[in-house]
Every structure is written in C-alpha cells, then in structure tokens.
Chain A
Amino acid sequence: MKTYPGELGDIQEKDIMKDIEIMSMASVHFFCVLSIILSAVVPAFLLEKFSVLGTHLTWLCICSVSVAAVNIIASVVLKPNPSPKRNSLSHKVTRFLKSCLYFMISCLLFHTIVVLYGAPLLESVLETFLFAALLSTFTTLRCLCLLGLNLQAWIRVFSKNGAMSIWDSSLQITTVCSIVGAWLGAFPIPLDWDRPWQVWPISCSFGATFGYVAGLITAPLWIYWNRKQLTYKSK
C-alpha cells in the first residue's frame, strides 16, 4: 500500500520510496527498542526495590504497556493499514473495542498454549497471564496496528510468500523472532542450575524480549539488504 506501481512507473522513484519507508520503519523500531530499554532502567529511579529479576511481574507490566504505547502511537502517526471506508466515530469506537477483544482473545490463547506446554495450571496464574500478555503485545498488538481487524490479511501475512509490503515483512520477522525467543527461553527452566532467572516465567519473557528486540533490529537491516529481491505484489 505504500508502493504505487501503477502511478509511479519510474523504478528510481520506487526505490527512493522504499528507502524512505525503510527509514520510517527503522525509526519506529528504534523507539520500540528504546521503550524496552527504558522500561528496564527508568522504573528503578521511580519505584523502590525495582529490579527486572526481583520484581519481574512489575517489569512485565511496564514493558508491555510501553511497547504497546509506542506501537499504537506509531500506527496512529504513520497509518500503515488502509483506512476503512466509513470513518465515523462510532466505527472508530467499535474498531477499538474489537481490537481490545482480539487482544484479550490472543492473551487467553497464548495462556492456553503456555499451559499446554507445561506451565502450572492453577499456581502462578498471574505470571502465566502476564507472560501471555507480553507475548500478545509483541505479536498480536503489532498485527492489530499494522493489519487492522482483517483476519484474512493476518492469515495471508503468516503464510509463505504472503508479505505484500515491507511492513508485512517486518511483522513476519518480529513475530517469528519473539515466539522463537520465548520458545528457546523455556529450555533452561527445568534444569538444575539454581539460577534466579530460571524461575517461571523469567527466562521465557527474557527470551521473548530478546527475540523481539533482535527482530526489530534485524527487520530493517534484512529488508534493506534484500530490497532489490523484494518485489511485493500489489493489492
């Protein structure tokens, strides 16, 4: 939706267009990374006894909220998803409420998956749920921001060769990285190393966060590197 091949026939201009888009994406990603770093650093000055390991749940909340804020602001400013035909206030409100519903559903879905993976069912429900919320923030919220409520688009993006813009590519990369990060983060939990970060869900949320950050950093680089090969199909 950012490339208009019909209107801009000139390849040169298309490339410039792409570069500008990559730059704006990189800046959004930079703010996301910054918000994560700040969420780990700033609360230590404001709150007593705050540490990422010690008061992990607080950090989980703060991190989710700040990343969510950055994403929402970015989506409002840049408007990557096509604006719907009817743009009245009531529609906006329903869309917002629907998004919230989707987000909640995704939290519950992640929660279920995590429990199926072996997280305790009854104990530490709060930890599990907050971790699910963090994962949803990293994945679903971005989808909501970039793709809107169009589920067909979601399925399209997450299938092979489904990306149709660089935003789709970045979404693919960050989502996969966060989930793979969380997946890898679960490995050390059962081991007998007796480290403070082996407590559920610390290693998983760290894994997800590191994966997300890695995804945010690699996505613009990767897209920039492959910008010649990436020919997105128009809508």
Chain B
Amino acid sequence: MRARGSLGVTCCVLLQAAAVALFLRGFFPAPVRSLNRPAEIPVEPNAGGISNWTSLPPPLFRRVVIVLIDALREDFVFGPKGKEFMPYMTHIVGKGTSHSFVAKATAPTVTMPRIKALTTGSIPGFIDVIMNLNSPALLEDNLIWQAKTAGKRIIFYGDDTWVRLFPKHFVEYDGTTSFFVSDFTEVDNNVTRHLNNVLKREDWDILIVHYLGLDHIGHLTGPNSPLIGPKLSEMDHILKKIHTSLLSKESDNVLPSLLVLCGDHGMTEAGGHGGSSDDEVHTPLVFVSSVFDKKEGYDKPLELVQQTDLAPTLAVSLGLPISRNSLGKLILPVVEGRTMREQLRFLHLNGFQLSRLLKENMPAYEKDIGFQQFKTAEKSHGNWLKLYLDGNTSEVLTNLGKKVLKQYLDALKMLSSSLSKQVAQYDLYSMMVGTAIIVEILFLLLLSIPKGLGSSAELEVPLSSPLFSLLFYLMCLLLSAIHVIVCTSTENSCYFCTLSWLIAIGVMILISGLFCVILSLLGKMCANSKSLKKQGPLASGSDWSELDVLLLVGTVGHVLTLGSSSFVEEEHQTWYFLINTLCLALSQQICRKYFLVKNSDVELSPSGSKGYEDANESFSSKDSDIYSMPESDSKINKLNTSGLFKHYEKWITMASPWVILICCRLLRSLNQTGVQWAHRPDFGHWLTSSEQKAALSLLSAVSLGMIFVLVQRRCSLVSKIALALGLLGIYCYRSAIGNVVFPWQQDSQGISKGIIEARFVYIFVLGILFTGTKDLLKSQVFTMDSNTKSRGLWEVYSGLVLLTALLFRPHNLPVLVFCLIIQTIMMTFIWNLLKYDAAQITIMHYWFGQAFFYFQGNSNNIATVDISAGFVGLDDYIEIPAILLTTVATYAGPLLWAIHLICYLSSETIRSSSAKGHGCFCYALLRSIPITVYIILVTSLRYHLFIWSVFSPKLLYEGIQAFVTAAICVFFTAMDKN
C-alpha cells in the first residue's frame, strides 16, 4: 500500500499517540481515592438493636513519640548489628514490653513518598503530584491533620520534608535540611538538642523526630562502614533517653505513653535506596509501651506488616478517625490488652473504612472476596454483641469473639491487598504493549526515510505480502495466547486486560502486522542495497554541510541527554545551547556565501587564480544555483524595492543571525527555569512584582502593538480589524483582572474575573480561525488557488497567535513578540536566501519550538504549568476547555513554530509539492525518536531514585506533546492535499 506522505505519517503518529496513552495509563495507575466527604463513623453492628457505641472510641495512649530513623534497615535493629550496637533496643525487643514487626515499604523507597505512606496509610502515586499541583503540602486526609483537628499538640524535629508536607500543623518544629549528604553529625545533633527540653515538658501530645544521619552515612559509605556502628549506638542512646523519660512520667491514673520506632526505607549493600529489593523495603517497626505484655522469648520470627499499617494503628491508638485513603490494616497486638468488645470495635472501624474505599474505587466491589468476608464478619459481630449485651459471659462468647476477630482479620487482609493491587505496581503489561507499538512505528518511520524524504514523499507500506505470510498469523496467535495467559494469571490489576477483547485482538493484529511490515521493508532494503552495490560504488553521503552535521549531532545528542536526570532537569539549557549554535552556524554560512561568491567574482578578473576558483566551486555549487534562480531573491526585492535596502541587504542579512542571538539572550533572562538556577532573579519576576505594574503595563501594550504589526501583514482586511480588536480586548482583560493598568485608571479598582473581556477576545479568535478555515476550504475544494490557501493558513496562524496572547501571562507577551520577530527574520533573510530543503527547515523549526517551550517559563517540573490559563474566560472549572486551554498555553511555543512551518512550506511557490510531505515526515520522526527512547529509558529506570521527581514529570510532558504532535500532523495532512 502506498500512502501520500503526510497521510501515512499522520496515521503512524495517531497510532503512536494512542500507544503513548496506553503506556501512560500503565505507568501512572489510577489512584485509589475516596470522595471528599467527611468520614462517617459507623455504629457498632448489633443484631438485637442499636448499640450505644456510636462515636469514636477514646484514645488508648496519652502521648505518642515517633522516632523515625531514615534508612533504618530491619537488620540494624533485629540483626547482628542491632545486637552489637543497639543493646537497649535489643533488650526491649527481646524481653521488654514491646511489639516488633518488619514493616514492608513499597517502591519507590524515597523519603517523601514514604512519609506520605506512613501518615496517610495510602500508597502515593505520581498522580498525587499532579493532583496537588503547585502545592508541596499534603492535602489528603492524613494522621497529622486528624490529630491537629482533634486538638492534639504536635512537635516535630528533623527532616524538613515534614515541615513542607505539613505546614502549620506543628506547634513547634525545627526542620533540618537533608541537602548536605556529607554531614552526618550536625543533622542529628540539631534534632537531639531539643529532646532534653521537650521531654521534660508536658505541653505536647505527639512528638515526631526524624533522624537523617544514618541515611547520609549509607549514601556516603554504605551499610558496612565503621561509621554505622557509632551512629546506631547514638540512636540507641536517644531511644533509651526517650523511653526512660516516658516511663518516669507514667502513673496509675493517666493513660500510658507509646514509643514507636520505625524507618522510612532501608538501604542496599551499596548504601543507596529507591528500588524494591528486600534490603530497601524491609524496615523495623517497634511499639514500646508499658501496657504491653513482657516478652519471654526472642526466637519467634518477626511478623511482616505493611508500612501503611502504621497509620490506622496510630489513629486507633490516639482515638482519631482512620484516614480516608488508608490501605492499612490495624496491627492487632497493639490493642491486644483491651477488651474483646473494644478490639472488635476497632477492627470494625478499620474494615468499614477499607470497604468504603473499595466501594468507591472498584465497580465490581461486591464480588470482591474481602468485601464479602467483611460483610460476614460484620454479621457475626452483631450476633456476638447481642449475646454480649444480653449478659452472656460463657466460654461460648469468648470463642465466638475469637472467631469474629479472625474473620475480621482475614477480611482486612483481603480488602487491603485488593486495594493495594490497584496502586502498588506499574502495570507492566500495558506498558509493554504500548512500548511495542511505539517502537515498531519508530522503526517503520526510520526505514521509510529514503522514501519519505525522496522526491515523491510517499510512505510505502507493503501490506499484501506480510499480511498473507505465515509469520503474521503465527504471531497473532502467539500474542493472543500470551494475552489470555497474562490476563488470567496476573494478580495485579491490568488496564489492558480490562479493555474489551475486540480491541485487544485489534491491537495484537496491529503489533504483528507492523512487525511483518518492518521485516519485509528491511528485506527490501537489503535487496536494494545489494543490487546497488552490484551496479557500482555509490556516491557516499560525504557532501554534508556543517549545518547538516550540526542538526544531526544536536538531535542525537539531545536524545542521549534524556538518560541523565541532571540533564533532564536542565533540558532548557540544552535547547538554548543548540539554537545558539544553530544561529552561529547560519551566520557562518551567510558570511561564506556572501564573501566567497564575491571573492570569486573579484578575483576572476585581476589574478585569475585557478586554485581559488576550484576551492570555491565544490562548496558553492549548492549555493551558486541561487544566482541562476532569481526568483528566490525576488521575494526580498519585492518586499523592499528601495535601492537603499538593496545596498545594505548584505549587511542586514549578515546581522540577522546576531539579532536572533540577542533576542534569544534576552528571552533567556526573562524566565529563569529548570531546577538548579530557577531561584535566580529574572526579569519576569521583577515585572510581576506589584511595584512594577506601570512597567508591565507599558511592556504589554508595546508587545500587543508589536504583535499586531508583525502579524497583520498577510491577513485580509476583516481579519486585520478582528485582530486589532482582539488585541485590545486582551489588554482590557488583563486590566480587568488587575494585572495591568490603563493610564487613566485609578489604582484601587475592583478586580473581576474578566469573563466578558476574555469571551470578547474568544469571539475574535474564533472569527479569525473561521475566516482562515473558510479560505482554506475554498482553496481546496473550488479554486486550487495557492494565494487564497496561503492567506487562509496565515489567518489560522494569526488566530492562534491571538489565542496565545490571551492565555499568556502579561510578562510573557515579549516571548510571543520575539517568536514572531525571529520567524520573520528567518523567513525573510535566512531561509529564502540559503535555500535549505524542507527537512532542514523542519528541524530548525522544531529546535526553535522546543527552545520557546522553555523560553516561556516551562520546565520539566510539573509545578511550572500555568493552570490559570485554563480559567481564562470561564466562570468556574470546566474540565475539557480548561485542559485544552492549558495545553495550548503550555505548548504554545512548539505549536506556533509548527504552524509557522506549515505556513512557510505552503507559501513557498518555488518549493516542490513534496515539501509539505517532507516536513510532516520529518516532524513526526523528530518527535517519535525522543519519545520512544524516553519511554524505553523510563521503563528501565522505573526504580530509579529520581523517577518521581524528575523522570515522571518529563514523561508526562513528552506524552502530552505526542498528542500535540498528532494534532499538528493531522493539520499537515489536511493542508497537503494536492
């Protein structure tokens, strides 16, 4: 099958976008969330009436001290190291009044998500990060918040992650930063110095201390270093101090205290963490309190619990409601000392919370075994309570109680595990299917480079022979078999399996079909190259100019930097660097063209030096045809026919790359972005500060005027007027919402949401887009007039510029102006003059588009997304328009450059008809290479330390850009109708 270039490419890109969506769905499993309504407290089930226990049970402990030691591996307390260096804890664990467990953390074993898990009882996913954009604080229902609302006074010392997660939750705190990994005494002394004072006082209920030193030692020297021992002894000493102090405060008439020792994650034998090996996920969890029974033996193997179990256990211990999203189950030994009725009540509360969470997150919750078990247990609980309230005290009651208890525990276990299955793991199967399609499409595109960039710009897909081959059917069968096996055997929830079988079979056919097509293409290429070799030696591709080398090296180099988290954080620097180099290369080419061509002219007459001519000839052969083709220059001449311009043309052209460079430098200092240097003062912050309102107003007004001047050139009169009114409307909108001021405006004016003004602008945007589309349709259907077409395209482009101007914050309007200026300069002076082919121009457009993505203040961090763009002209949050507007605002740079590319390639009359096909093909290839590589990288790095903070946000940006690319390619195809 042969497809016209852009059509085939667009199909590929659309498929790829769908595959990316599948991958993202597998990579970011939907979170298990409860609705935001107040947690209700269930009444104790009673078969014989209504129980009088309707409120929360009272707290079991007066005070709780949580000692969290970063990177405390399980064997540091329970293993030989613990015996050697932590004698007090070993004594407590072995013979004291304590309960010890091994708590299992989930990947990624990094401090922040682990603190979230410990306090909310949920397993935080990356989606949480998106849910609370811009806010580092933990907004979910959590233990600390519950304690604070219940009036508990909480004191915290240690890692300042807590302070950021729970701002204003602590009555007293001192955060230490974990930035200097090489410091492992000072961080801990900063915590310990407060303890003496605090332990003496009576004015707190919960004390949390988080020690970082052990983690730092681990990172520096590993778990077997001689530094570990003294650190553990220090911790042991501190625990002893806290414990004795707690014991000394206890008396008969007050509730006892509870001391909890836990770790957030372990460490590998190398000292790192983040992954999911046993060394990293197994942490100790020790409860110490005088109410517990004294232990006799130490031989019993420790019970394995989940890290999330701590949250409900502590909630019950403190008499707080269990956090809504908690997946944890009560650790029963902690409440073992209470009466049977109380124990059952606790378990019922926990089970009720879990089953409600299940109800809200699983459509088929009634079929879940855990849910059924819980219902049975609840029923027998009611029966037991009836007997109990009737005054029955026989052995039967005790046995029945024990039976109910066991039923509850089983139910909790089942409920918890089926809930955590939904969030805990990456959905590898969906990811694999997505990756397979993406990789195959990349290969298909790569193999079609000769055809796609050839004269016909076709995408040749040999369909008939692969589709009737045996391999295709075998592969279909095999993949379907795998699908059935995976979906029936897997324990985790898998998104791809939940799709209907028709879609699944379609995907299998697609995968195997693509595979066979690629194989047959490969075979064809081999055959071709062999026959060509027989014909004789080929002219090698050594006639590449420096620019080609730069474009190739830049593209490949950028893809390679995606593997390093540091480079991903500072990706904007890569792009700025590349476009600067591109400008210098362009400048060099212009210089060479002007000077050398002139030289040969001059030198021919006086000296007639032969060598010179030869030297020039080979290189200028490409450029020399520009002189035989006067049309290319005629455009410039038409624009400025004055003789003055002609005289200075050379110098203006030579200056143009430098003007672009200066523009880029100015833009770079407008918005500092990235991670490392983001805090640097920049021009954008200066402008947005409230004192600079006048300057901002002036700048916005000038920018809007410049936008009008730069855009209106090619529009029809109606669009010009609409554009002018629209830009005026933007200024009115900005002044209505209080960003800028009119000179005659009094300062203290009411700030509205500017709905009317924004909608006024929307009308003009739609109007311009409509006129443009009308022109385009007219040119395509009736007249085939290229003039109408290019005007229509330009109008679509200006409509987009207007929309972007509305969505951009006022201090970013210069970005738009510079974007238009650079496009104009490039088009007028550089591309027309140097006669680049469509592929080169596409790559340049792509580079500039990517650079402008960062120039407008974006970064690879979710926090820089400007969500306010989604509310422009909307009364309140409406999902689909808000998402669309935010996407347009975020990807304005790449989008505008891509549309400009289409305009440019269509407006060029000298260009061959295949230029658009080439452009589309090249654009699709340029986008699909990074996303394919990145997806494979992320899959292999999914247990990396920075997977959440660095790689996942970038993946999200790349994924959304895949959709944007698909939209652009669709537009390309629509335009490429000839």
Contacts and interface: CB of A to CB of B under 8 A. Distances in A.
Interface of A: 113, 115-118, 152, 155-156, 158-162, 164, 183, 186-187, 189-193, 233-235
Contacts of A113: 584
Contact of B611 (A152, A192, A193, A235): A235
Contacts of A191: 566-567, 569-570, 676
B50 interface: no
A190 B570 contact: yes
Interface string B574-591: 101100110010000001
B602 to A, nearest CB: 9
B618 A190 contact: no
Nearest to B658: A116
A155 B615 contact: no
Interface in B247-265: none
Given A160-B618, A191-B567, A192-B676, A233 B584 contact: no
Contacts of A164: 611, 615
A3 to B, nearest CB: 12
Nearest to B676: A192
A37 B124 CA distance: 55
A218 to B, nearest CB: 18
Interface in B704-736: none
B773 interface: no
Interface string B587-612: 00001100110010000000001111
A190 B596 contact: no
Given A160-B619, A164-B611, A192 B675 contact: yes
Interface in B548-566: 566
B576 A118 contact: yes
B676 A183 contact: no
Interface of B: 545, 566-567, 569-570, 573-574, 576-577, 580-581, 584, 591-592, 595-596, 599, 609-612, 614-616, 618-619, 661-662, 664-665, 668, 674-677
A160 B596 CA distance: 11
Nearest to A162: B615
Contacts of B609: 235
B664 A116 contact: yes
Contacts of A186: 577
7 contacts: A155-B596, A156-B599, A161-B619, A187-B574, A190-B674, A233-B610, A233-B614
B553 to A, nearest CB: 10
A191 B566 CA distance: 6
Nearest to A160: B619
Given A118-B577, A155-B599, 10 more contacts: A117-B576, A156-B612, A161-B615, A162-B615, A164-B611, A187-B577, A189-B573, A191-B676, A193-B566, A233-B610
B823 to A, nearest CB: 19
A233 B661 CA distance: 37
Nearest to B674: A190
A159 B566 contact: no
Closest 5 CB pairs of A and B: A233-B611, A160-B619, A191-B566, A190-B570, A190-B573
Contacts of B595: 152, 155
A214 B581 CA distance: 22
Nearest to A151: B595
Which of A156, A160, A186, A190 gathers the greatest number of chain B CB atoms within 10 Å? A190
A197 B599 CA distance: 44
A186 B573 CA distance: 10
Contacts of B677: 190
A192 B573 contact: no
A192 B581 CA distance: 23
A120 to B, nearest CB: 9
A132 to B, nearest CB: 15
A214 B596 CA distance: 30
Q: Is the interface of A mostly helix, strand, loop or mixed?
A: loop
Nearest to A233: B611
Nearest to B543: A160
Contact of B615 (A115, A156, A183, A190): A156
Given A116-B580, A190-B676, A193-B566, A159 B616 contact: yes
B73 to A, nearest CB: 27
Contacts of A115: 665
Contacts of A117: 576-577, 580
Contacts of A193: 566
A189 B574 CA distance: 11
B942 to A, nearest CB: 22
A116 B567 contact: no
A113 B584 CA distance: 9
A186 B577 CA distance: 9
Nearest to A193: B566
Given A159-B592, A159-B596, A192-B676, A118 B668 contact: yes
Contacts of B596: 155-156, 159
B664 A159 contact: no
A235 B603 CA distance: 12
Contact of A118 (B610, B614, B662, B665): B665
B592 to A, nearest CB: 5
Contacts of B592: 155, 158-159
A152 B616 CA distance: 13
Nearest to B680: A120
Nearest to A115: B665
Contacts of B569: 191-192
A187 B302 CA distance: 51
B825 to A, nearest CB: 15
Contacts of A116: 580, 661-662, 664-665
A115 B584 CA distance: 13
Contacts of B665: 115-116, 118
Nearest to A189: B573
Contacts of B611: 164, 233-235
A134 to B, nearest CB: 18
Nearest to A176: B546
A189 B545 CA distance: 29
Contacts of B619: 159-161
B182 to A, nearest CB: 10
Given A191-B566, A191-B570, A159 B615 contact: yes
B573 to A, nearest CB: 5
A90 B574 CA distance: 50
Given A113-B584, A155-B599, A190-B674, A118 B573 contact: yes
Contacts of A183: 581
A186 B591 CA distance: 25
B622 to A, nearest CB: 10
Contacts of B570: 190-192
A129 B595 CA distance: 29
A78 B816 CA distance: 56
Nearest to A164: B611
Nearest to B611: A233
A193 B569 CA distance: 12
A164 B567 CA distance: 42
B624 to A, nearest CB: 14
Contacts of A156: 596, 599, 612, 615
Contact of A155 (B581, B584, B591): B591
Nearest to B571: A190
Contacts of A159: 592, 596, 615-616, 619
Contacts of B576: 117-118
A181 B676 CA distance: 24
